[in-house]
Structure 1
């Protein structure tokens, strides 16, 4: 009985009619003929209310379903589909209120629909998460009324739905598609000019203008009576590690995402491209301790292993221990590998403290230090100051920007590859750096 009562809601039209009847009862104090008329109108209103109640509660003639994907992609728009089926013999009007997970802090979701008799209606909406983890949906609330619009009946569906948010696999798939297509032309993705060639033989083909004359195969040329050249391909099965700093410097937010989330999304996208290139990929995350270490492998299951490991990576407020990173890499990674180190430095003093460990890593491996431009400082540098305070802020911003460029030059002076990138372009620039290294045969 209580459940039945809780599902009944009176609409605005019912209360407007109730207030009008009360007002006319007040007027009947001076105009006596209104008194019996008001009772007739009240009886009619009561009959209409009971008629609508009976029609709505005759049986459960409304079905609804919220269709969620198996998992959400972090920082991307994820589609949520809602299907509502009206089995009534008359048209109904519905208000849909979906209880979206608390992480979105969205409390104004409302969708108004007209549901034709014995018909199905579906609609969708999109959610953009900015944190990894479990997202729990509340009830899918649907308030239904007939054409009278005096009483509403509430239905609640799918009250225990949950979906996990993983690193951005949507971005990974997009960049995977571009990597498979050799005609990469998307804005921000550049083609890398090949300098020389690697020594992994692929095939013998007929010479065309532009081929390197040093690769002519004279024996094949003599047999075919036309110029034939050896074609080489990028060396494969090279070990590559994404090394992610999970210290407090990676907690800094940009456009709703932390630097750590940008690094995680980039690592997943890059690992997928490297696997398509037949290289071995691995992962290491660290802060004041080593959180996870996945040995480099080219197995098809490696991408799932990396995704599951990245799902649980979180940052705290600890200082990262680069000496521990060096000792752990030296112990567990014996072969020369490509290390993509995602970290961030805001001051030269911070870089100088870690430089001895970076130099030691660069002696054993090909190290690429990836850190971030502060896009807010870049925006501040591009505005025209209007007062002394803004001029002072701009001078400080220019100093910070200058320090970032000094860090790049300092790393390169010690033979360490460096990549300074805006957070939004991290994945594209990282893949470009990887393709450049492969093209130049540096590893």
Structure 2
């Protein structure tokens, strides 16, 4: 905290006392004794104010504060922040601290009232829960210091502006990782599925009984005058891509977070699990074109690449173009992969417009469509209607819920996997679906 400056002003208590003395002066016109008393009181007030000012200014930089911020914020999670306050005054300090929080929190009265003994230090802890990704700027710390007299107040303005990036929910990665491995036994024995031969060549070796004759290398056989076969490395890790729809339907908000941010948080968590399961994690986003492409790999820097790409995802509320998604995926993802598509369909008609492209994707890949329940409709359905408007609202809500179930059945009819989940349960539901598909050997 480099900047440090202060100002002085008189406290409310001073003006209250001054008002009382002024009243006594008025009364003194009718009773002279009160006039004399008021003069004495006024003199004492002036003396006490000077004493209070001397007390507040006798020690330079008497109040010191250090703000402890994390390197980055986790979107949708409680982020712990602390203020360490040090009192160098030789008396008990009465303090009021006002934090200048980033504008995204819309809090202008974030105040802490503290009584700090002389030459003492104290740490204040508080939590902030951001609801959107981006840059958060913390401003100055304003401190109002008073002595026990509370006639004058010294204002300290400490610190400089501090920028912090807010990333997708990385604080919950460990939580979901623990749940993942603790629940792994619930699937029973895993099926070991052999994909066959990958395109990655390992070596040429002599033929022995039991080798696949389809791998005979005739050129090497002719040179060595004995049967030689190509040996390939068995493919164990599979590619998994998280695909995020950035269209206008993903801008609906639940509990302060948009569906897009729920999908972003889920993508980060499931990518971590995918890499832990020895698969290749990748991602991309799309609206009118494909963006934020991260090729599925298992390199050590993969989580950093995915996290940075997710942090930069923005949208301009366009209608998503599934035809572009299909064309680019067909050209760029040549191996059979698991495609986890985070999108949202509200009606069966909305699905039918995009279904041809989903079916085309499902011909070469295993497609898992993840979309959302509208949890606000639950309250309309559960509440007992007391008037005609309530009946209409309940019927319409049930119709929308029925549409979601029809969408699930329609996708199932064409062999497309689907998950219908509450936004708050998205991350857990996505991870469980991935583990279930993997245990069944579907990809």
Please confirm whether the aligned pair reaches a TM-score higher than 0.5, indicating the same fold.
yes
Q: Does 1:23 align with 2:23?
A: yes
Q: TM-score scaled by structure 2?
A: 0.87
Residues 104-183 of structure 1 aligned to structure 2 (within 5 Å)? 104-182=105-183
Name 1:319's counterpart in structure 2.
319
Deviations 1:339-395 (A, max 9, x none): 000000011111001000000000010000111011111221112111221111111
Per-residue CA deviations over 1:149-169 (Å, capped at 9, x if unaligned) read: 111101111231221111011
Quick check: 1:437 aligned with 2:440? no
The equivalent of 2:83 in structure 1 is: 82
Is the contact made by 1:260 and 1:315 (CA closer than 8 Å) also made in structure 2? no
Partner of 1:423: 423
How many residue pairs match? The answer is 401
Q: Cα deviation per residue 1:154-212 (whole Å; 9 max; x = unaligned)? A: 1111231221111011122211222243578xxxxxx3355754459xxxxxxxxxxxx
The residue number in structure 2 matching 1:95 is 96
Matched, 1:46 2:41: no
Structure 2 residue aligned with 1:289: 289
Does the Cα contact within 8 Å between 2:6 and 2:154 map onto a contact in 1? no
Deviation at 1:20, TM superposition (A): 0.7
Q: Which residue of 1 aligns with 2:66?
A: 65
User: Cα deviations across residues 371-425 of structure 1 (Å, max 9, x unaligned)?
Assistant: 1011111221112111221111111111111110011010010010011111000
On the 8 A contact 2:5/2:158 being kept in 1, the answer is no
Q: Secondary structure at the match of 2:442?
A: coil
List aligned pairs for 1:300-311, cutoff 5 A.
Answer: 300-311=300-311
Match of 1:232 in 2: none
Deviation of the 1:442 alpha carbon: 0.3
Q: Partners of 1:359 and 1:4 in 2: how far apart?
A: 64
Matched, 1:359 2:359: yes
**Cα RMSD (Å):** 1.8
Q: CA deviation at 1:36?
A: 2.4
Residues 301-328 of structure 1: per-residue CA shift (max 9 Å, x gap): 1001000000010122201010100111
CA distance 1:5–1:314, change in 2 (3 Å): closer
Deviations 1:270-317 (A, max 9, x none): 001111111100011000111221100111210010000000101222
Which TM-score applies when normalising by structure 1? 0.87
Name the CA distance, whole Å, in 1 between partners of 2:64 and 2:181.
43
Unmatched tracts of structure 2, length 5 or more: 196-234
Secondary structure of the 2:56 match is helix
Distance (whole Å) between structure 2 residues aligned to residue 45 and residue 320 of structure 1: 72
| Equivalent residues in 2 for 1:336-415, closer than 5 Å | 336-415=336-415
Runs of 4+ aligned residues of structure 1 deviating over 2 Å after TM superposition are 3-6, 177-184, 191-200
Distance 1:63 1:369, change over 3 A: same
Q: Distance in 2 between the 1:27 and 1:89 partners?
A: 40
Shift of 1:144: 0.3
Query: Tell me, what secondary structure is at the counterpart of 2:283?
Result: strand
Q: Deviations over 1:80-109 (max 9, x none)?
A: 100110111111110011111111111221
